Structure 1
Amino acid sequence: MQTEYIKLDPEHMDKAALKKGALLLRQGEVVAFPTETVYGLGANALDPAGVDKIFLAKGRPGDNPLIVHVAHPDQLKPLVTEISSGAYALMERFWPGPLTLIFPKSTLVPSNVTGGLNTVALRMPGHPVALALLQEAGVPVAAPSANLSGKPSPTVGEHVWTDLMGKIPLILDGGETQYGVESTVLDLTTTPPMILRPGGVTLEEIQEVIGEVRQDPALKANQPPRSPGMKYTHYAPEAEVLIMEGSEQEITSLIVNHYQRLVKTGQKIALLVSEETARELEHQLVPDYLEILGPRKNLSLVAHRLFSALRHADFHGVDLILIEAFSDQGLGAAVMNRMRKAAGNKVLKS
């Protein structure tokens, strides 16, 4: 299959490109497009044959649910059987934006969208290209991240091209994504509501709107999560990933000591660390690849850079990635969740 690659300026969008993408979606094809979180690979959510093409292109297991994207909250009504007052309050506060809400599904939603579950995950993305494409298509669009299954999620169009060239008909490149990690997934079918996947909207922000919210115990207990996009191994580069966890005072020594042991084995090693740790390491070692994720307290920047940094390390052909752990508070919950998934929960503590 030939893949067409079109760059779009979000402020002055090419209407012909949007019409082309929308037509492909209505015809049962898949299209990659930017959201404010990561790039998505979309198909008409009401077309089971089109949805099957998402799983085929990504190599994604068919029992792994998808998130349905809408252009307006009113599009929810035919897709769900119940919308609570809390759901309306959350949509009012966070949509468009990086919050996915889980509802009881209607019979209109195909079972391959929901992985056979009786619930459906929905969100309204905040990226202007995504919204314009959804509005032009006029259909709800099921879309996981636009990468090969298990690989780091794409935050620029080139990542999608690397993974899916020749597998899909169209990539719409709207530039670098804002958040760099996927949306928060909140299950509204439980009491109290439960976060199944941390993301761009924090636990604390949600609690400000609806009160008590729990987190899925599987997020910290190394059990299979129930969220779309979290059931299987995810976010993993080709290189092995090891998380380096310690206090601010201990982390540099931990990295130096472990690095010095590993380098003797002949492995090529990458370091993905905070700005502060990079300064302390400057005169102590020279890794095969170094990327600074950002200051320890700027977790939005760390989240923004994480997936790209994992891909960059692979590009440099390293065997092992040593990555510094960050605070798991606020947006750090999403950062550390993705980091643990990429590392297969392999952590070295001081």
Structure 2
Amino acid sequence: MQNPELDDEIAAAVAALRRGEAIGLPTETVYGLAADAAQPDAVRRIFALKGRPADHPLIVHIAGADQIDAWACHVPDAARALAAAFWPGPLTLILARAATVADVVTGGQDSVGLRAPAHPLAQRLLRAFGGGVAAPSANRFGRISPTRAAHVRSEFGDAVPVVLDGGDCAVGIESTIVDLSGDTPRILRPGVISRAQVEAVIGPVAVGAAASSPRASGTLAAHYAPRTPLRLLPRAELVAALPATADALVLALDALPVGSEGLSLPADPAAYAHGLYAALRELDARGAAMLLVERPPAGEAWRAVHDRLGRAAAGAGVGVGVGEDAP
């Protein structure tokens, strides 16, 4: 049975997109700040709202693989195989752009990032809208990505009047980005879809950007950053630092050290990723002098979490504008 209230919300969101407005859109990774990717002025509104540099490309969110050819050209078989395996889902493909894609979407590059999100509300919106939406994460440039509708509202208030509430994001960190625009497939940003999973579909892939790689979301040194300074430490060093660190809050694995204040997250990579940004936002809002974050275990399963925490530490405690991301 259809939900009339939800149908009304989707209709209002579609109408806002057609008017050139930006909306808050839930995905399984993080919430996006979405605008009609076919309207350059609407896309520019995203940049203005976020305070985002114009040369940063955006990811275009589409409903499914049947829309790839509207946005990309010279699509390799590897791209279609990955889309068949992982879409809808937390995987972004960078491909040669179609001639009709606006420069403002691609940051002036010859490539475009495409993703089909798995969140059911995002899917309903995209199918009802019928086009693609450009959607970086719905936060101010360089700050912590939002995983709840309330995070989007607190960031933008009345400037983004339509925010679809899809609950907490199931994944909690941004998509894996695979660049297929050059001769060698490359993972430019790690995510919950691992290198091994990608290679099981298309064979060997490189990791990290080459000199010829396009600019992509999530590849600046500083992203996901709290305003509070942040130190990332192994547990023993964190415990040793506590007596000398006045007014510090801790983000720990499994349990807080005795005598400390803060939050803990499960020592499981998927569960940790799911709760990471909400925990950082809560701790950042408490106004402490320092955040001490326990370094998670090494290993491939934790690669994406280490990536996010390292970039958060690099940008923490500095002014707005250090970096930004897309779902």
Q: TM-score, normalised by structure 2?
A: 0.91
Choose the corresponding residue for 1:262, options 237, 245, 248.
245
SS of the aligned residue for 2:140 comes to coil
For residue 238 of structure 1, report the CA deviation from its aligned partner.
Answer: 1.2
Q: Counterpart amino acid of 2:260?
A: V
For residue 328 of structure 1, report the CA deviation from its aligned partner.
Answer: 4.6
Deviations along 1:304-333, one digit per CA (max 9) or x if unpaired, are 111111101012111211111123533411
Match of 2:30 in 1: 38
SS of the aligned residue for 1:78 comes to helix
Match of 1:65 in 2: 57
Choose the corresponding residue for 1:186, options 178, 182, 185.
178
SS of the aligned residue for 1:243 comes to strand
Match of 1:272 in 2: 251
Verify: 1:305 aligned to 2:275, yes or no. yes
Report if the CA contact (8 A) 1:37-1:200 is conserved.
Answer: no
How many percent identity over aligned positions? 38
Match of 1:294 in 2: 266
Report if the CA contact (8 A) 1:69-1:124 is conserved.
Answer: yes
SS of the aligned residue for 1:117 comes to coil
Match of 2:71 in 1: 79
Report if the CA contact (8 A) 1:26-1:139 is conserved.
Answer: no
Distance in 2 separating the partners of 1:193 and 1:327: 28
For residue 59 of structure 1, report the CA deviation from its aligned partner.
Answer: 1.1
Report if the CA contact (8 A) 1:184-1:195 is conserved.
Answer: yes
Match of 1:121 in 2: 113
Deviates most, 198-207 or 140-149: 198-207
For residue 225 of structure 1, report the CA deviation from its aligned partner.
Answer: 8.7
For residue 200 of structure 1, report the CA deviation from its aligned partner.
Answer: 2.3
Verify: 1:231 aligned to 2:220, yes or no. yes
Match of 1:199 in 2: 191
Report if the CA contact (8 A) 1:328-1:335 is conserved.
Answer: no
Structure 2 spans left out of the alignment, 5+ residues = 317-327
Structure 1 pair 23–106 and aligned structure 2 pair: CA distance change class (3 A): same
Report if the CA contact (8 A) 1:204-1:330 is conserved.
Answer: no
Report if the CA contact (8 A) 1:45-1:140 is conserved.
Answer: yes
For residue 136 of structure 1, report the CA deviation from its aligned partner.
Answer: 0.9
For residue 270 of structure 1, report the CA deviation from its aligned partner.
Answer: 0.9
SS of the aligned residue for 2:164 comes to strand
Q: Counterpart amino acid of 1:286?
A: S
Deviations along 1:47-77, one digit per CA (max 9) or x if unpaired, are 1000001111111111111000001211111
Match of 2:293 in 1: 323
SS of the aligned residue for 1:101 comes to strand
**Highest CA radius of gyration, 1 or 2?**
1
Match of 1:4 in 2: none
Task: Report the count of equivalent residues.
Answer: 313
Q: Counterpart amino acid of 1:171?
A: V
For residue 33 of structure 1, report the CA deviation from its aligned partner.
Answer: 1.1
SS of the aligned residue for 1:15 comes to helix
Q: After the TM superposition, which residues 327-338 of structure 1 pair with which residues of structure 2 at under 5 Å, given as runs? A: 327-338=297-308
Q: CA RMSD in A?
A: 2.0
Structure 1 pair 11–244 and aligned structure 2 pair: CA distance change class (3 A): farther
Deviations along 1:221-268, one digit per CA (max 9) or x if unpaired, are xxx9932243363111110011003xxxxx2x31121111122xxxx2
Choose the corresponding residue for 2:102, options 98, 110, 121.
110
Report if the CA contact (8 A) 1:39-1:145 is conserved.
Answer: yes
Q: Counterpart amino acid of 2:58?
A: L
Q: TM-score, normalised by structure 1?
A: 0.85
